[in-house]
Amino acid sequence: MPKVTVDGVELEVPAGATVLQACELAGKEIPRFCYHERLSIAGNCRMCLVEVKPGPPKPQASCALPAGEGQEIRTDSEMVKKAREGVMEFLLINHPLDCPICDQGGECDLQDQAMAYGRGATRYEENKRAVTEKYMGPLIKTVMTRCIHCTRCVRFSEEVAGVDEIGALYRGENMQITTYLEHAAKHEMSANVIDLCPVGALTSRPYAFEARPWELKKTLSVDVSDACGSNIRVDSRGREVLRILPRVNDDVNEEWISDKARYQVDGLTRRRLDRVWIRKNGKLAAASWDEAFDAIAKVNAGESIAAVAGDQLDCETMYAAKKLLSAKSSSLLEGRQTGMDYDTSNLAAVNFNSTFAGIELADAILIVGSHVRWEAPLVNVRLRKAVKNGARVFLVGPEWETTFGGEFLGEDLSVLGDLPSHVTDAMKAAERPAIIVGGGAIAKGAIPRALALAEELGVVKEDWNGFNVLHLAAARMGGLMLGFAQKGGLADIVAAKPKVLLSLGADDVDYGQFADSLKVYVGHHGDNGAHAADIILPAAAYTEKAGTYVNTEGRVQFAEKAVFAPGDAREDWTILRALADALDVEVGFDTFEELRAAMIAEVPALGVEGLADYGALPAADKDAKASGAIAYPIKDFYLTNAIARASATMQRCSAELLHGEDLAEAAE
């Protein structure tokens, strides 16, 4: 723990800290462009110069200088001020003065730091350098003349994303950042370079020229495009969500989000259900809320009413539906739309127990039936970190392009019954072994076998539970906590032949099974669910309602409402509350607060932000078997939910990045 003095204040800093970190600990702001906490140190922008004694009598780049015992650091001296002005002047030599037409304006590091640390006026009168634009795909817009060569994007794609595709060509003044031969950046996290870019060189293509940051209302929310529960900030203007940015949460998404989480927003304004529809003579006809409620009441379902929850639901909606059904003495609740019927009596057995931050520390990982890059891009980032720290990864399932190496053991689940000895040896020898069971394996009923394997390989130790189930649906863990599960899965609901089927945004159900039921779709997009519905009640998407979400780790998180739902659409719980009146039953809440209070009273864990405690793993059935070829549930990363399917950006990503279609702009 070296002791250093920053501007006359003595403080102790952790061993291995840099001078920049020491200054930050002392509360001093150090301007920087290339330095980023989550990337390797490059030390090439020189903006973080400080004066350090002992040392050469010149300013030092603090980001790359280790803090040492007895250092005297000055961030406020004349030398430092001049050094910063000098560096800023050089950076601005070739940076265009186009802030008024630059999308980064208002949230630009260079702009802010030029104001804070630069000279008042320019002395430069020569011509500026110009650089041709580079095509980086449908998500990243480039204005490379603005680039200041910090190389954050290069380091991100190499270190975090694990896909070497961005590089710095040529050198000196001619240096240019580009993808290889201007191919589109092809990975699931590519748009994070937009956030990393400290200037306006890489900006968001779908959001180009949409808004200025100071016009936007910022709302804290949680992403529902996968089960990671990434923390996001929803930026909206008026009634429209314009963009989504990641929030920092080291436990969940660090400060990245997947491209789908970021860019499915334009789907929120397309294919929306904004009025009530009733199917008459096979065709949907516009109707009023009263007509719809009357039609539902007229069926006189009694207790023959079931609810199927969609993948993006908040806990409040599910709880409201549960209360409505229990008021009708029905418990036909299910959330696993595709018919999975794994045992949910102990939620620890279907939870990501090691946590995302914990999986980084694992030293041997067995992934069973999970295309992690597509199912949970943020977990993939963690796995890459684990491998960098020396972890060995084994995968069961069809091969996919991992970003962390790993050994594929076979496509069939039967491999689990007879693991090669080097795998079992590695797992048994590991200090923190982990098993990740993904969507492909859950669907084949592999959880009991995985539990047995967990016991055989000893993945549960003191202070370490390496048994992980990686879900795909943002609503899954919340739904299971609220009891949205039948013993036999969806088949039980089908067998019960409900007179009324409440479909709460469930777009993946095979509605052919419910031919005799009155299908009431409460949801926000005109997708598969709405196509099959008899009555459509327009509801709110995740940005349009406050809600509680539980991610695949069992982490309870709260999201706030950013905008109002369009047209006649209402927040889901109010629809269910009104439906209770129509069905003439009492559900016991009239406001959202009452609903939430009732929910927390019933499931206390949902009231506490953070990891829910599910207790220990259940005893494993040693004879459990699993077999069958694994098929990954996600066929197209960019089109996994109703919002993404409605999004023009996601459709374009799918066409161009996954199906290799040449689009007009790509050929420019």
Partner 1 sequence: MADRHLEPDTPELRARWGGFAFTPEWEAKARAAIARYPEGRQRSAVMALLDFAQRQIGEETSTQGWLPIPVIEYIADYLDMPVIRVLEVATFYTMYNLVPVGKFHVQVCGTTPCMLRGSDDLMDACYKRGMTKGHTTDDGLWTLTEVECMGNCATAPMVQINDDNYEDLTADRLDTVLDALARGEQPKAGTQEPGRHTSEPLGGPTTLKEMVTENHDYRGEW
Return the structure tokens found at 311. Answer: 């993948």
Minimal distance in Å, beta carbon 373 to partner 1?
Answer: 17
Nearer to partner 1, 167 or 618 (CB): 167
Residues 6+ apart with CB under 8 A from 429: 364
Nearer to partner 1, 172 or 512 (CB): 172
Minimal distance in Å, beta carbon 429 to partner 1?
Answer: 22
Nearer to partner 1, 169 or 601 (CB): 169
Minimal distance in Å, beta carbon 644 to partner 1?
Answer: 29
Alpha-carbon distances of 92 from 118, 147, 416, 500, 542, rounded to whole Å: 9, 10, 59, 66, 42
* Dist CA 196 CA 393 (whole Å): 29
> Which of 10, 29, 164, 661: binder of partner 1 (CB under 8 A)?
164
* Dist CA 424 CA 364 (whole Å): 10
* Contact region with partner 1 (CB under 8 A), list: 64-72, 91-99, 166-174, 360-368: 166-174
Minimal distance in Å, beta carbon 96 to partner 1?
Answer: 20
DSSP one-letter string for 254-272: BT---HHHHHGGGGGGSSB
Specify whether the CB–CB gap between 114 and 88 falls below 8 A: yes
Minimal distance in Å, beta carbon 164 to partner 1?
Answer: 3
Minimal distance in Å, beta carbon 98 to partner 1?
Answer: 24
Give, rounded to a whole angstrom, the gap between the first and last alpha carbons of the chain: 56
Nearer to partner 1, 166 or 501 (CB): 166
Nearer to partner 1, 156 or 549 (CB): 156
> Which of 101, 169, 285, 495: binder of partner 1 (CB under 8 A)?
169
DSSP secondary structure letter of residue 348: G
List of long-range contacts for 657-666, beta carbons under 8 Å, 24+ apart:
657/137, 657/138, 657/184, 657/186, 663/138, 665/135, 665/138, 666/135, 666/184
Binding of partner 1 by 126 (CB under 8 A) = no
Binding of partner 1 by 384 (CB under 8 A) = no
Nearer to partner 1, 83 or 154 (CB): 154
E strand spans, 433-534: 433-437, 460-461, 464-465, 467-469, 500-504, 518-523
Nearer to partner 1, 70 or 405 (CB): 405
Residue numbers 172-211 binding partner 1 by CB under 8 A:
174, 179-181
Preceding omega of 138 cis (within 30 degrees of 0)? no
The three-class DSSP label of residue 86 is: helix
Minimal distance in Å, beta carbon 399 to partner 1?
Answer: 18
Q: How far is CA 63 from its chain centroid?
A: 29
* Contact region with partner 1 (CB under 8 A), list: 24-32, 164-172, 454-462, 643-651: 164-172
Binding of partner 1 by 167 (CB under 8 A) = yes
Minimal distance in Å, beta carbon 44 to partner 1?
Answer: 14
Minimal distance in Å, beta carbon 115 to partner 1?
Answer: 33
Nearer to partner 1, 165 or 259 (CB): 165
Residue 97: other Cβ atoms inside 10 A:
9
Minimal distance in Å, beta carbon 178 to partner 1?
Answer: 8
Nearer to partner 1, 181 or 664 (CB): 181
Q: What's the helix, strand, coil split of the chain in %, to 5?
A: 35, 20, 45
* Dist CA 668 CA 654 (whole Å): 20
Nearest Cα to Cα of residue 537 among 193, 238, 286, 298: 286
Could you give the maximum distance between any two Cα atoms of the chain, in Å? 87
Nearer to partner 1, 120 or 172 (CB): 172
Nearer to partner 1, 129 or 237 (CB): 129
Minimal distance in Å, beta carbon 481 to partner 1?
Answer: 44
Nearer to partner 1, 170 or 214 (CB): 170
Minimal distance in Å, beta carbon 137 to partner 1?
Answer: 15
Q: Where are the alpha helices (DSSP H) in 94-241?
A: 109-117, 152-155, 192-196
Binding of partner 1 by 401 (CB under 8 A) = no
Return the structure tokens found at 352. Answer: 């990501």
> Which of 100, 130, 171, 615: binder of partner 1 (CB under 8 A)?
171
* Contact region with partner 1 (CB under 8 A), list: 2-10, 160-168, 417-425, 582-590: 160-168
Minimal distance in Å, beta carbon 169 to partner 1?
Answer: 4
Give the burial class of 475: count Cβ atoms within 10 A of its Cβ; 0-12 exposed, 13-18 middle, 19 or more buried: buried
Binding of partner 1 by 165 (CB under 8 A) = yes
Binding of partner 1 by 594 (CB under 8 A) = no
Nearer to partner 1, 152 or 524 (CB): 152
Q: How far is CA 121 from its chain centroid?
A: 43
Minimal distance in Å, beta carbon 650 to partner 1?
Answer: 26
Nearer to partner 1, 123 or 171 (CB): 171
Specify whether the CB–CB gap between 137 and 190 falls below 8 A: yes
Residues 6+ apart with CB under 8 A from 79: 51, 59
Residues 6+ apart with CB under 8 A from 614: 346, 347, 348, 351, 353, 554
Residue 511: other Cβ atoms inside 10 A:
20
Number of residues binding to partner 1, judged by CB under 8 A: 12
Binding of partner 1 by 168 (CB under 8 A) = yes
- Per residue, what are the HEC states of 192-231? HHHHHCCCCCEEECCCCCCCCHHHCEEEEEECCCCCCCCE
Minimal distance in Å, beta carbon 332 to partner 1?
Answer: 53
Nearer to partner 1, 157 or 219 (CB): 157
Binding of partner 1 by 166 (CB under 8 A) = yes
* Dist CA 75 CA 26 (whole Å): 11
Nearer to partner 1, 11 or 168 (CB): 168
Binding of partner 1 by 659 (CB under 8 A) = no
Nearest Cα to Cα of residue 368 among 426, 447, 423: 447
DSSP one-letter string for 266-297: GGGGSSB--SEEEEETTEEEEE-HHHHHHHHH
Residue numbers 467-486 binding partner 1 by CB under 8 A:
none
Minimal distance in Å, beta carbon 403 to partner 1?
Answer: 12
Binding of partner 1 by 254 (CB under 8 A) = no
* Contact region with partner 1 (CB under 8 A), list: 159-167, 510-518, 542-550, 658-666: 159-167
* Dist CA 420 CA 579 (whole Å): 56
Binding of partner 1 by 170 (CB under 8 A) = yes
Question: Tell me, what amino acid is at 49?
Answer: L
Nearer to partner 1, 317 or 403 (CB): 403
Minimal distance in Å, beta carbon 433 to partner 1?
Answer: 25
Tell me which residues touch partner 1 (CB under 8 A): 164-171, 174, 179-181
